[in-house]
Amino acid sequence: MISMNNLPTDVATLQSMLLQAYTDRAYGCLTRAGLEALHQYSEGREVIFLDLDGMHDLNTKYGYAEVDARIAGSLAAMRSSDVICARWYSGDEIVLIVPAGTAMGAAHRLLGEMVSRELSATFGISGLTQDLAESVAAASSKVQDAKSRNERGTVNA
């Protein structure tokens, strides 16, 4: 067990440990804590919040490992130096931080990737402010509004 008293002293090992602590292994993206740590470097960006549709039914039909692999594959197609991706609260809520002006296109691309893997998600987009939770809540409310109108599998700005 590692404690503050026996942390490794070399920088590479510490960086590796931090990356592991901030990485969601199932989806290959950041954890919420990792996104919160990077938020201060995310000026001039937008938030995409997505809520996967029918997660329970998908897990029943394909199994957890297969659904996780499909989600991870969809997210991997979005990876670039400009996209920061994180798992938010649960396995069916994901946040992406993208450069300002690119969120609509990125959300549609990711929706296409998901549909090609027999997944669906509902997306909400908002500007990124100094308060990450507030920005995500604004995008999330667009998702909830769309779902309340039974408009799943849509992108909402």
Domain residue limits, the chain = 27-156
111 closest CA partner among 100, 101, 102, 122: 122
Going by pLDDT thresholds of 50, 70 and 90, the confidence category of residue 5 is: low
Mean pLDDT to the nearest integer, 51-55: 94
Share above pLDDT 70 across residues of the chain, in percent, rounded to a whole number: 87
Q: Is 96 left (phi over 0), alpha (psi -120 to 50) or beta?
A: beta
Mean pLDDT to the nearest integer, 62-91: 85
**pTM for the predicted model, two decimal places:** 0.82
DSSP assignments along 53-110, one per residue:
SSHHHHHHHH-HHHHHHHHHHHHHTT-STT-EEEE-SSTTEEEEEEETT-HHHHHHHH
Mean pLDDT to the nearest integer, 120-143: 94
Going by pLDDT thresholds of 50, 70 and 90, the confidence category of residue 65 is: very high
Mean pLDDT to the nearest integer, 84-105: 86
Bridge partners, 60 (sequence order): none
pLDDT at 88: 77
Q: Is the pLDDT of residue 48 over 90?
A: yes
- 27-156: CATH architecture: 2-Layer Sandwich (3.30)
Mean pLDDT to the nearest integer, 28-37: 78
Longest dimension (CA), the chain: 54
Going by pLDDT thresholds of 50, 70 and 90, the confidence category of residue 8 is: low
Share above pLDDT 90 across residues of the chain, in percent, rounded to a whole number: 51
